[in-house]
Amino acid sequence: MTKNEFMMNEYGISKELADFIDECEREAEPHFKKAEEIAALNQMRVMKAFNRNRVSETHFAETTGYGYDDLGRDTLDTIYAELFGAEDALVRHSFISGTHTLSTMLFGVLRPNDTLLAVTGKPYDTLEEVIGFSGEAGNGSLADFGVKYEQIDLAAGGMPDLDKIAERLKKSFVKVCLIQRSKGYAVRPSYTAEQVGEVARFIKSVSPNTIVLVDNCYGEFVSECEPTAVGADLCAGSLIKNAGGGLALTGGYIAGRRDLVELCAYRLTSVGIGKECGASLGFNRSMYQGLFMAPHTVLQAVKAAILCGVVYKKLGFSVMPEPSDVRGDIIQAVTFGTAKGVIAFCKGIQNGAPVDSFVSPEPWDMPGYSDQVIMAAGAFVQGASIEFSADGPIKEPYTAYMQGGLTYESARLGIAMSVKVLKESGVI
Ligand SMILES: *Cc1c(COP(=O)(O)O)cnc(C)c1O
């Protein structure tokens, strides 16, 4: 039996659709090649860091209690630092999510009366409450602690507005600039590590003492390097996205300048204790193995994103990025223009997941998000969006964001399923 016959017999996909996916795949292949080159380089960078640090069975041993002298934990910090072109890193399973990691970074570095300037427009939805947009007093947000917030919106075309940034930096001292690399729930380009670095270096050229922090979620291993290697002071991200390679069960990382990493560690644990304590329990092995897998897993996700882009562009929808664009993250945005389109797409993606393929996602009011959101995910690790998933806020312009895929082959099936559901529900 051929793979297309299997799809037709077992998944009810028409021959026409199976052939269409084949055709799209052929068109995507030249773009896959570029991503494969980057993955090969990043895989060797990871290998070299493991080799240089003489990673061995000892590093996977668990510690308990205070976790003093946890060799596995400390060496993983060193390895991350090397990979991120950074002085130090803080990689912990005790970061509960990307938001917690970013929150720790912001609270670690900012002090009362400091100014935080978001230079890539409004930050990711879940950071609104961390920063304190709602103005709610007494809840412990940055605003509640007297940190002032300002924002520079993106220029036309979705790139940072360097003129406006410079103008603001010259007006009065800005302690921290925050760059969000990935588009999040916005229709704009995601930035490569080099593009983020360019903005960071520009900020430093205008205001040398301003600290540049990067929300690097979804960006790890998509480029040949990370933003901290080319000018940013700190990068932070989630281990249930790219950097955990699909194997880390929870966690986050912060990498960058040694003094700033220490401040973040003081915030995560306690002033004076910082990185010295924190039992790794049994988590080191999956964090090491996940990092080892990460360049390859990210490649699977990037290939899935490219295929999705080709498929939906051919079906007449506007896609971002375009299949031929250089990618800054693993997300593929498809704008459907209707709530029905977003919902059907997410239902199809859900049908193509290895876990919970039988459930039907519905839009709901998610904590931390201001609009209703629909999320399709059938993951081995709850909420892991390095695994095949899609989501979208139910609001104009009705864009769905697809990301992840531990294996390209499974994501390929999921993309075919999404087209099938769109056809069945009359969207196309
Ligand atoms: C996912 C994400 C976050 C938040 O991470 P959670 O793990 O969902 O809390 C923040 N910023 C960006 C750009 C993200 O993609």
d(CA 39, CA 44): 9
pLDDT of residue 187: 84
d(CA 341, CA 426): 9
Cα distances (angstroms) measured from residue 20 to each of 26, 197, 412: 10, 39, 12
Percent of the chain with pLDDT over 90: 96
d(CA 130, CA 233): 20
Checking if the pLDDT of 11 tops 80, the result is yes
How far, in Å, from the CA of 234 to the mean position of ligand 1?
Answer: 16
Q: Under the phi-then-psi rule, with left for phi > 0, alpha for psi from -120 to 50, and beta for the rest, what region is 320?
A: beta
d(CA 335, CA 315): 12
How much is the average pLDDT of 46-71? Answer: 97
pLDDT of residue 368: 67
How far, in Å, from the CA of 142 to the mean position of ligand 1?
Answer: 18
Q: Which two tokens stand for residue 65?
A: 């209690």
Structure confidence at residue 282 as a pLDDT band (50, 70, 90): very high
Residue 120 backbone phi and psi in degrees, to 5: -120, 40
* Domain-wise residue ranges, the chain: 3-44+294-424, 55-291
Verify whether ligand 1 is closer than 6 Å to residue 217 (CB atom): yes
DSSP for 35-76, please give it.
HHHHHHHHHHHHHHHHHHTT--GGGG----TT-TT-HHHHHH
Ligand 1 pocket, mutate which of 95, 97, 124, 180 (most atoms under 8 A from CB): 124
Q: Each residue of 190-229: pLDDT tens digit?
A: 999 999 999 999 999 999 999 999 999 999 999 999 999 9
Verify whether ligand 1 is closer than 6 Å to residue 218 (CB atom): yes
Q: Provide the residue count of the chain.
A: 428
SS3 192: coil
Verify whether ligand 1 is closer than 6 Å to residue 403 (CB atom): no
Q: Which atom from ligand 1 is nearest to the alpha carbon of 99?
A: 9
Verify whether ligand 1 is closer than 6 Å to residue 185 (CB atom): no
Checking if the pLDDT of 186 tops 90, the result is no
Q: Each residue of 81-105: pLDDT tens digit?
A: 999 999 999 999 999 999 999 999 9
b/e 113-124 (16+ beta carbons within 10 angstroms → b): ebbbbbbbbbbb
How much is the average pLDDT of 421-426? Answer: 96
Closest residue by CA, ligand 1 atom 2: 217
Whole-angstrom Cα Rg for the chain: 21
State pTM to two decimals: 0.97
pLDDT of residue 366: 83
In sequence order, what are the beta bridge partners of 180?
215
Percent of the chain with pLDDT over 70: 100
Closest residue by CA, ligand 1 atom 14: 217
Ligand 1 pocket, mutate which of 94, 96, 99, 128 (most atoms under 8 A from CB): 99
Verify whether ligand 1 is closer than 6 Å to residue 98 (CB atom): yes
HSE value, Cβ hemisphere, 13 Å, CA-based, for 357: 13
Checking if the pLDDT of 367 tops 80, the result is no
Burial of 221 (0-12, 13-18, 19+ CB in 10 A): buried
Q: Quick one: fold of 55-291?
A: Aspartate Aminotransferase; domain 2 (3.40.640)
How much is the average pLDDT of 256-274? Answer: 98
Closest by CA to 347, choosing from 290, 279, 423, is 423
DSSP for 404-417, please give it.
--SSHHHHHHHHHH
Q: Which atom from ligand 1 is nearest to the alpha carbon of 240?
A: 7
pLDDT of residue 110: 98
How far, in Å, from the CA of 106 to the mean position of ligand 1?
Answer: 14
Between 15-52 and 284-314, two packed helices, what is the crossing angle to 10 degrees?
Answer: 150
Verify whether ligand 1 is closer than 6 Å to residue 244 (CB atom): no
Verify whether ligand 1 is closer than 6 Å to residue 252 (CB atom): no
Side chain identity, residue 149: Y
Structure confidence at residue 235 as a pLDDT band (50, 70, 90): very high
Checking if the pLDDT of 305 tops 90, the result is yes
Q: Each residue of 119-168: pLDDT tens digit?
A: 999 999 899 999 999 888 899 999 999 999 999 999 999 999 999 999 99
The sign one gets for the Cα dihedral 79, 85, 87, 91 is negative
Parallel/antiparallel/unpaired status of strands 115-118 and 148-151:
parallel
How much is the average pLDDT of 43-69? Answer: 97
How much is the average pLDDT of 43-47? Answer: 98
Side chain identity, residue 153: D
Burial of 19 (0-12, 13-18, 19+ CB in 10 A): exposed
Residue found by looking up tokens 């001292």 in the block:
173
CATH architecture for residues 3-44+294-424: Alpha-Beta Complex (3.90)
55-291 has the same fold as 3-44+294-424: no
Verify whether ligand 1 is closer than 6 Å to residue 120 (CB atom): no
Mean pLDDT of the chain: 97
SS3 85: coil
Checking if the pLDDT of 36 tops 80, the result is yes
